[in-house]
Amino acid sequence: MLNKEGKKREKVLEQSIEGKIPPRAEGKAPYTILKTRLAKVFHPKVMGTIWLFVIWEIASLVTPENLFPNPYVVFQAVIFGVILREGFLFHVRMTVLRIIIGFCISFSIGMSIGVLMGAKRFWEEFFTDYVIIGLTIPSLAWAVIGVLWLGLRPLTPVFATAMIVFPYVAINFWEGVKDVDKDLVDMGRAFDVSKRRIIRHIYIPSIVPFTLAAARIGFSISWKIVIVGEVFGASNGIGYMIYYWYNMFSMRLVLAWLLFFTVVMLLVEYSIFKRLERRLLAWRPQAIL
Amino acid sequence: MGYKLIRVNGLKKVFHQDGGELLVLDNLSFDVEEESFTTLLGPSGCGKSTLLNMLTGLEDLSAGTIDISSTGGKKVKMSYVFQTARLLPWKNVIDNITFVHGMKKSKEEGTQVAIQYLKLVGLEEFAHHYPHQLSGGMQQRVGIARALSVEPGVLLMDEPFSHLDEITAKRMRADLVDIWQKTKVTIFFITHDLSEAALLSDRIIFMTQKPAQIYKDFTIDLPRPRSEEDQRFFELQTKLSREFHLMQESYERTEDRLQTS
C-alpha cells in the first residue's frame, strides 16, 4: 500500500508525465534550499535596484542638494509632496486616462496598418514610407503641432501619442503577420481546414508574441509621450506637475513625481504584461520565457 | 488490389519566372493501385514536391489530368505527411490531431479517434504533451497519426523520414510498414533514398532529373518483413542503384548534347 508520501510522489510523477511540472520538483536537499534562498536574495534584479540607490546616494553626496537630493529626501517627497498633496488623484487620473486613450487609438491604427502590410503586397508598398516617416518625426514636433491645431485641450496630448506610437505598433504587426509559418498554413489547406479555423488556430496564435511586443512598446512609449504632451499642451496631469515643479526649481519634487510614476509603470509591467505573457505563451518551452 | 485509385495522365508543369519558362514536369503518366505502397523515387530537386503540391491541389496543372476517385467515381479523401511534422507548437498532441478534423466530428468523438491513432503509432502516453516536448521522431509519428486520423483513401508522404537520424528513421520505416499492413491505406510515398524505397514499396516509379519524366517502373515482390541484411534485398538494391546510374548517365548525355547543339 502506498503511504501519503508515496502517493504524493506518484502524483508528481503523473503530472510530470503530462508535462505540467518539471520532474525534478520533488525532494530537495537542504543545501539546494539554502542555495535557492540565497539566489533569491542575490537575484540580479535585487542587486540592480540596490546599485541604483547606492549610486544615487553617492551622487547626492558630491553634488549640491538642490541638483541631486538624496533618495531618502525624494522618498519623503513622494509621500508628502506627491501622494498626500491635494489634487494628486486628479492629476494621476488625467494622465492614466490619456495614456489609455492614446494607446488604444494608436494600437488600433497600428494594428490595422500592420496586418494589411503583412498580408498584402500592395499595402506593404503603400504604407512602408508612412511608417518610416512616422518613426523619424520627432515627438516634440507632434506635441507642438497638436497644441497649434487643437489648442490647450485635455485631449491634446492624446493626439501626439497616437501619431507617434502607431508606427511602432504597425511594425510589430507587420513582422508578425509575415512571420506566420507558411508550411503550417499549407498543412491546414492540404487537410481542407476552413479558412476561419486556419486564421483562428494558425495565424492568431503565431501573431500573439508580436501583439504582446507591440502592446509593450506601444504602452511604454505612450506614457513617455503623454508626459511630454502634458508639459506643452495641458493644464493638469503628471507631466504638467513635473513642469510645474521644474518652474519652481524643485528637483526634489520633479524626481518624486518621476519616481512615483516609474513605480506605477513597473507595476503595470509585472501585473499585466508579464501575466498576459505567461498565460498566452504557456505552450512555449521555459527557456524562451 | 488492382483498382487504380490515382490516375495521372500527361501531367506537365511549367513555372513562369522573370519572363523565362522553366519546365519542371514533362508529360508524366502513372497510376497508383488501391491498397498498394507505391513510391516515387527521384533525385533531389527533380520536382517531386511540385508533383505532390499538384496532387494536393496547392499548385495548378499546366497540362494533363489528375484523377483521384474510387470505384463509384466518388472523390477519395487524401491525407498528408510532410518532410517535417508541421505541428502547431501551441497545441498539444491531441489538439494537433483534432485540428484537421474540422467541424464534422464532435469533440469527444475527435478525441477518441485521436487516441486510437496515437495508440497505433505508440504515443498514447504523450497525448497531452506539446510538440517541443517530443523528439523529432515522435513529432513525425504524431504527423502520421494526424494523417491517418482523417481515415484517408490515400496517404501521401513526402520524404517523411529525411529529417530524422538514421537509427530513428529505420525504426519508423519498420513501423510504417506495420501500420500500412494494419490499416490497408493506400500509400503514395516520395523519396530520393534508394534503399528506403526498396525497403518499403510494392512498386517504385523512377523519375528523372528536371524536366522530370518517368524513367522506369519496378514492381517489387520481395516478401515482408524485409531486412537490409537479406541477400535478395541486397541484390535488389544493387539493381536499383545500377538503374539509377544509367539514368543519371543518359541524363548527362542529353545535357551535353543540348549544350553542344
Interchain contact, A191 vs B128, CB within 8 Å: no
Shortest distance, CA B100 to any CA of chain A (angstroms): 6
Cα–Cα distance, B33 to B45 (Å, whole number): 26
Mean pLDDT lowest among B96-100, B144-148, B238-242: B238-242
Q: How many CB pairs under 8 A join A and B?
A: 50
pLDDT, tens digit, 9 for 90 and up, residues A28-54: 567 777 777 777 777 888 888 889 889
Longest dimension (CA), chain B: 66
Cα–Cα distance, A288 to B37 (Å, whole number): 42
Give mean pLDDT, residues A240-255.
91
The listed range with the strongest mean pLDDT (A6-15, A219-228, A277-286, B52-61) is A219-228
pLDDT, tens digit, 9 for 90 and up, residues B104-151: 677 888 888 999 999 988 898 999 999 999 998 899 999 999 999 988
Is B238 exposed, middle or buried, given 0-12, 13-18 or 19+ CB atoms closer than 10 A? exposed
ipTM, interface predicted TM-score of the complex: 0.85
Residue A8 pLDDT > 60: no
Position A286 confidence tier, pLDDT thresholds 50, 70, 90:
low
pLDDT at residue A71, as a whole number: 87
Q: Measured between CB atoms, which of B79, B90, B100 is closest to A205? A: B90
Shortest distance, CA A27 to any CA of chain B (angstroms): 23
Position A23 confidence tier, pLDDT thresholds 50, 70, 90:
very low
pLDDT at residue B70, as a whole number: 76
Shortest distance, CA A174 to any CA of chain B (angstroms): 21
Mean pLDDT lowest among A3-12, A134-143, A175-184, B245-254: A3-12
Interchain contact, A193 vs B82, CB within 8 Å: no
Quick one: cell of B48?
A: 517531386
- Chain B interface includes A186 (CB < 8 A): yes
- Chain A interface includes B58 (CB < 8 A): yes
Q: Measured between CB atoms, which of A18, A190, A201 is closest to B99? A: A201
Interchain contact, A205 vs B128, CB within 8 Å: no
Shortest distance, CA B103 to any CA of chain A (angstroms): 9
pLDDT at residue A289, as a whole number: 41
pLDDT, tens digit, 9 for 90 and up, residues B130-140: 999 999 889 99
What is the percent of chain B with per-residue pLDDT over 90, rounded to a whole number? 24
Strands B37-41 and B203-207: parallel
pLDDT at residue B71, as a whole number: 74
**Helix or strand run (H / E) with residue A135:** helix A121-136
Residue B42 pLDDT > 90: no
- Chain A interface includes B90 (CB < 8 A): yes
Cα–Cα distance, B81 to B160 (Å, whole number): 6
Interchain contact, A18 vs B128, CB within 8 Å: yes
Position B48 confidence tier, pLDDT thresholds 50, 70, 90:
confident
Interchain contact, B58 vs A190, CB within 8 Å: yes
Say what the pTM is. Answer: 0.79
Q: Measured between CB atoms, which of B86, B90, B150 is closest to A187? A: B86
What is the percent of chain A with per-residue pLDDT over 70, rounded to a whole number? 89
pLDDT at residue A173, as a whole number: 95
- Chain A interface includes B107 (CB < 8 A): no
Cα–Cα distance, A253 to A246 (Å, whole number): 8
Interchain contact, B130 vs A205, CB within 8 Å: no
Residues of B in contact with A17 (CB under 8 A): 125
Position A200 confidence tier, pLDDT thresholds 50, 70, 90:
very high
Residue B189 pLDDT > 90: yes
pLDDT, tens digit, 9 for 90 and up, residues A90-144: 999 999 999 999 999 999 999 999 999 999 999 999 999 999 999 999 888 888 8
Position A11 confidence tier, pLDDT thresholds 50, 70, 90:
low
Quick one: cell of A22?
A: 518539471
The per-residue pLDDT of chain B, averaged, comes to 85
Q: Cβ(B56)–Cβ(B78) under 8 Å?
A: yes
The per-residue pLDDT of chain A, averaged, comes to 85
**Chain A residue whose CA is closest to B155:** A191
Strands B214-219 and B203-207: antiparallel
What is the percent of chain A with per-residue pLDDT over 90, rounded to a whole number? 39
Give mean pLDDT, residues B198-219.
84
Residue A206 pLDDT > 80: yes
Q: DSSP per residue over B203-256, as a string?
A: EEEEE-SSSB-EEEEEE----SS--TT-HHHHHHHHHHHHHHHHHHHHHHHHHH
Residue A25 pLDDT > 70: no
User: Which phi and psi angles does B153 have, rounded to 5°?
Assistant: -80, -35
Which of A66, A57, A52, A65 minimizes the C-alpha distance to A245? A66
pLDDT at residue A121, as a whole number: 92
Strands B63-68 and B4-17: antiparallel
Give mean pLDDT, residues B155-167.
90
- Chain B interface includes A194 (CB < 8 A): yes
